[in-house]
């Protein structure tokens, strides 16, 4: 018996190990191999769900279900990615179409001032194809002063720089350079410079129209000054003859004659004064260069409010008389003197008086001057 039992135990152990391997080991090995394939991307792999034990069968079923769900999720993700790619491609195509059909020239430059993209309008303006200049530094593509603007934009992000540049067919373009910046993830208070955008608009027609306007104003001003010079000369001559020859020969004992002589004398003085002022204004219009540069000369001098108001009323007295208006003026006696351009200040007051005379009915009109809160003011009623 002892010998038989001694031989049975090893045999039983072998049988148990063999059964354990069949029940647990082989299914686990198959499951492990399948898991390795899933990790490698093979989601079509499946394991046999039939197993000697319920637990192993359940594990195999769960594994297959998980693999199937992973496959569906991957397909959905792939579909979503394809949809996104299509949308991105569509938006990119639309954006490219917009850039390609822009009338203005447009260029995008990198953070080191190299040309990344240029639309057809700018190619035409520069007379160069994008493929021949793409990747080159801005200094090799654009005029030096425009390239300097791009460098300045890189040095001072957030600033806008403009300049005029020559374009094809003897045209003139207005170049505008702006920076491309995003928030710096490492420093929230600062921005990260990605590059710059250069836009060029063809302003040749606008410049031509501006020159035509300047020529027209200059021509009209010359045409006005020529007869005005004659009128002013004759007015001065008439004033001289009246005061030196005619008025002394008149009988000034008659009050009516005295009033007429005084009125005629004052009126001719107004004609001379306004003719002189108008001549000065026309001379200013002729100085186009100063006007365009914003350097129009101001003839500053010490003035009094009373003088300005009297000159304005004298120049517009005929308008008030024609409408039956009685013009009166009231100037505060304590007004301080001022410094300004006599002719232009008088012109402002004359414009006020003309507006007052145009909108007023028949009756009485007042022009008053005073000071309030330290600011001199003029009022009309």
CATH number, residue 129: 3.30.450.20
Comparing 143 with 279, the larger pLDDT belongs to 143
Verify that 169 and 226 share a domain, yes or no: no
Verify that 64 and 13 share a domain, yes or no: yes
What's the burial of 125, exposed, middle or buried (CB within 10 Å: 0-12/13-18/19+)? buried
Task: Decide which of 93, 120, 148 is a domain's last residue.
Answer: 93
User: What CATH code is carried by the domain that includes residue 353?
Assistant: 3.30.565.10
Residue 362 in this model has a pLDDT that exceeds 70: no
DSSP run (H or E) holding 369: strand 363-372
Verify that 6 and 83 share a domain, yes or no: yes
Name the band, by pLDDT with cuts 50, 70 and 90, for residue 165.
very high
- Note the Cα 116 to chain centre separation in Å: 24
Exposure letters 165-204 (e unless 16+ CB within 10 A, then b):
bebeeeebbbbebbbbeeeeeeeeeeeebebbbbbbbbbe
Range with the poorest average pLDDT among 71-75, 142-146, 254-258: 254-258
Verify that 73 and 131 share a domain, yes or no: no
- The angle at the Cα of 69, spanning 63 to 70, to the nearest 5 degrees, equals 90
| Residue 61: closest CA among 48, 74, 43, 79 | 48
Name the band, by pLDDT with cuts 50, 70 and 90, for residue 380.
very low
Residue 10 in this model has a pLDDT that exceeds 60: no
Verify that 189 and 232 share a domain, yes or no: no
Verify that 171 and 259 share a domain, yes or no: no
**Cβ neighbours of residue 288 closer than 8 Å, sequence gap 6 or more:** 214, 217, 218
Comparing 379 with 94, the larger pLDDT belongs to 94
What pLDDT, on the 0 to 100 scale, is given for residue 379? 44
DSSP run (H or E) holding 339: strand 338-341
Q: How many domains does the chain have?
A: 4
Instruction: Give 274's Cβ-side CA count (13 Å radius).
Output: 16
What pLDDT, on the 0 to 100 scale, is given for residue 146? 94
Place of tokens 């219009």: 285
Task: Decide which of 202, 221, 252 is a domain's last residue.
Answer: 202
Exposure letters 322-345 (e unless 16+ CB within 10 A, then b):
eeebebeeebeeeeeeeebbbbeb
Verify that 329 and 289 share a domain, yes or no: no
Tell me what the mean pLDDT of segment 143-162 comes to.
Answer: 92
What pLDDT, on the 0 to 100 scale, is given for residue 100? 87
Domain of residue 158 covers 102-202
Verify that 174 and 213 share a domain, yes or no: no
Q: Are strands 338-341 and 105-110 parallel, antiparallel or unpaired?
A: unpaired
**Cβ neighbours of residue 161 closer than 8 Å, sequence gap 6 or more:** 149, 152, 153, 176, 177, 178
- Cβ(175)–Cβ(149) under 8 Å? yes
User: What CATH code is carried by the domain that includes residue 213?
Assistant: 1.10.287
Verify that 139 and 210 share a domain, yes or no: no
């Amino acid at each position: 018996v002892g010998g038989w039992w001694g031989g049975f135990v090893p045999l039983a152990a072998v049988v148990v190990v063999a059964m354990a391997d069949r029940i647990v080991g082989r299914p686990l090995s198959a499951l492990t191999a399948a898991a390795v394939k899933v990790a490698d991307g093979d989601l079509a792999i499946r394991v046999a769900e039939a197993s000697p034990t319920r637990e192993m069968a359940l594990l195999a079923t769960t594994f297959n279900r998980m693999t199937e769900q992973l496959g569906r999720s991957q397909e959905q993700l792939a579909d979503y990615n394809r949809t996104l790619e299509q949308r991105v491609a569509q938006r990119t195509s639309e954006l490219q179409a917009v850039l390609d059909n822009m009338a203005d020239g447009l260029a995008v430059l990198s953070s080191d001032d190299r040309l990344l993209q240029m639309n057809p309008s700018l190619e035409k303006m520069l007379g160069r194809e994008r493929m021949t200049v793409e990747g080159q530094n801005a200094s090799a593509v654009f005029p030096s002063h425009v390239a300097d603007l791009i460098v300045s934009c890189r040095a001072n992000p957030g600033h806008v720089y403009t300049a005029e540049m020559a374009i094809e067919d003897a045209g003139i373009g207005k170049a505008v350079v702006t920076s491309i910046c995003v928030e710096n993830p490492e420093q929230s208070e600062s921005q990260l410079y990605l590059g710059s955008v250069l836009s060029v608009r063809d302003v040749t027609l606008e410049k031509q129209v501006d020159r035509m306007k300047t020529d027209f104003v200059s021509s009209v001003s010359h045409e006005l000054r020529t007869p005005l010079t004659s009128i002013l000369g004759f007015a001065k001559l008439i004033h001289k003859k009246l005061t030196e020859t005619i008025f002394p020969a008149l009988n000034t004992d008659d009050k009516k004659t005295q009033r007429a002589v005084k009125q005629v004398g004052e009126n001719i003085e107004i004609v001379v004064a306004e003719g002189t002022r108008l001549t000065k204004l026309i001379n200013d219009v002729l100085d186009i260069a100063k006007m365009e540069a914003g350097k129009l000369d101001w003839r500053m001098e010490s003035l009094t409010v009373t003088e300005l108001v009297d000159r304005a009323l004298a120049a517009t007295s005929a308008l008030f008389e024609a409408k039956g208006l009685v013009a009166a003026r009231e100037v505060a006696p304590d007004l301080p003197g001022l410094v300004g351009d006599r002719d232009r200040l008088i012109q402002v007051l004359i414009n006020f008086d003309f507006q007052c005379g145009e909108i007023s009915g028949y009756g009485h009109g007042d022009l008053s001057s005073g000071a309030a809160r330290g600011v001199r003011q003029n009022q009309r009623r």
